[in-house]
């Protein structure tokens, strides 16, 4: 249970880090908070020849207001910092409320926002949240810079659209105004563990309880978090009552194609996915109505 030997670099600027990555390509791994990479290295499931430790790039460790009023989070921002940020609480309360569900506080003290997103565990919260919140990611290499939407970023298990020479530098989340209700639900064996299944819902109603817009994302049910547009469309233009929610939950459950593993069966995940979608929507509805 010790990492295999590797060469270690701790660049002090992004330019230096990108040059190293350009030089070593897919033989190198970026080490940020280490809460996903270090276990893999300890168990030798990952044996990078080169480790590029970006923890000294303090330029990537801040949260600022986004250009459009949302949030711009440096990829190296610790999850614990996001959890406690007044700016996050004010601008994207769903994100602030969901942060404590990520790992345990000792994990969040080290774990970074960018690290969790790039690691892309399908049961992790941040990929699902960034997808539900319509986030986008800034990917930088020595030669180029591009911005990619969360919905185009996650490919499958631990696999994203990032190139071996690219570093995720920033996560941008647009503003979700007060008119949006939101809900976050997950089921796990132990507080702080990876979710067996989780659901994120965002809901916007008009004065007559008619749904103007909805977003529903389920995670832990396949290779990547999934947006269930069928259920979103079912709600759109409809009065959101118990029956509508029940129907939406059924659409969610039917649309999922989860797998079985030692933690839960596919059938369980399918069932729970629908139930959690309903609960997340109910939670969103309560918030939308400003109920406690």
Partner 1 sequence: MRAKRTIKLTVNGRHYERSVEVRKTLADFLRDDLDLTGTHLGCEHGVCGACTILVNGDAVRSCLMLAVQADGASLMTVEDLAQGEELHPLQRAFQENHALQCGFCTPGFLMTAYAFLKEVQAPTVEQVREAISGNICRCTGYSPIVQAILDASRG
- Rule CB under 8 A: which residues touch partner 1? 1-8, 10, 31, 34-35, 38-39, 42-43, 51, 53, 55, 80, 103-107, 109-110, 190-192
Residues 198/186, Cβ–Cβ less than 8 Å: yes
Name the nearest CA neighbour of 118 among 60, 68, 43, 180. 60
Report in angstroms how near the CB of residue 46 gets to partner 1 at its nearest.
12
Cα–Cα distance measured from residue 31 to residue 220, given in angstroms and rounded to the nearest whole number: 25
Report in angstroms how near the CB of residue 166 gets to partner 1 at its nearest.
23
Closer residue to partner 1 in complex, CB, 4/210: 4
Name the nearest CA neighbour of 151 among 134, 168, 172. 134
Report in angstroms how near the CB of residue 7 gets to partner 1 at its nearest.
5
Closer residue to partner 1 in complex, CB, 190/290: 190
Q: Kindly list the distances between the CA atom of residue 155 and the CA atoms of 131, 136, 167, 169, 233, in Å, as whole numbers in the listed order.
A: 12, 15, 17, 19, 24
Closer residue to partner 1 in complex, CB, 191/208: 191
Sheet holding 211-219, edge to edge: 180-187, 197-205, 211-219, 226-227
Report in angstroms how near the CB of residue 111 gets to partner 1 at its nearest.
9
Q: Kindly list the distances between the CA atom of residue 100 and the CA atoms of 55, 81, 97, 223, in Å, as whole numbers in the listed order.
A: 22, 11, 7, 23
Cα–Cα distance measured from residue 33 to residue 76, given in angstroms and rounded to the nearest whole number: 8
Cα–Cα distance measured from residue 161 to residue 140, given in angstroms and rounded to the nearest whole number: 13
Report in angstroms how near the CB of residue 84 gets to partner 1 at its nearest.
10
Cα–Cα distance measured from residue 50 to residue 41, given in angstroms and rounded to the nearest whole number: 12
Closer residue to partner 1 in complex, CB, 20/203: 20
Closer residue to partner 1 in complex, CB, 30/249: 30
Cα–Cα distance measured from residue 43 to residue 198, given in angstroms and rounded to the nearest whole number: 27
Report in angstroms how near the CB of residue 31 gets to partner 1 at its nearest.
8
Closer residue to partner 1 in complex, CB, 104/259: 104
């Amino acid at each position: 249970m010790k990492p295999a030997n590797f060469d270690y670099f701790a660049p002090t600027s992004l330019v230096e880090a990108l040059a190293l990555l350009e030089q070593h390509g897919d033989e190198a791994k970026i080490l940020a908070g280490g809460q996903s990479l270090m276990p893999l290295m300890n168990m030798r499931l990952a044996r990078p020849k080169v480790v590029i430790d970006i923890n000294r790039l303090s330029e990537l460790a801040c949260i600022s207001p986004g250009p459009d009023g949302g949030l711009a989070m440096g990829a190296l921002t610790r999850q614990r910092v996001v959890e406690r940020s007044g700016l996050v609480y004010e601008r994207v309360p769903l994100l602030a409320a969901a942060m404590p569900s990520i790992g345990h506080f000792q994990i969040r003290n080290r774990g970074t926002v960018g690290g969790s997103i790039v690691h892309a565990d399908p049961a992790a919260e941040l990929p699902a949240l960034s997808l539900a919140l319509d986030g986008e990611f800034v990917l930088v290499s020595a030669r180029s810079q591009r911005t990619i939407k969360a919905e185009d970023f996650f490919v499958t298990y631990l696999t994203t659209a990032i190139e071996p020479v690219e570093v995720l530098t920033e996560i941008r989340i647009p503003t979700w105004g007060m008119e949006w209700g939101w809900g976050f639900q997950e089921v796990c064996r132990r507080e702080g563990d990876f979710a067996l299944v989780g659901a994120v819902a965002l809901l916007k109603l008009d004065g007559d309880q008619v749904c103007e817009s909805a977003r529903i994302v389920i995670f832990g049910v396949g290779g990547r978090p999934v947006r269930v547009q069928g259920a979103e469309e079912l709600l759109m233009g409809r009065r959101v009552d118990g029956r509508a929610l029940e129907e939406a939950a059924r659409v969610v459950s039917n649309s999922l194609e989860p797998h079985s593993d030692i933690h839960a069966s596919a059938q369980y995940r399918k069932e729970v996915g629908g139930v959690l979608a309903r609960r997340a929507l109910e939670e969103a509805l309560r918030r939308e109505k400003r109920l406690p």
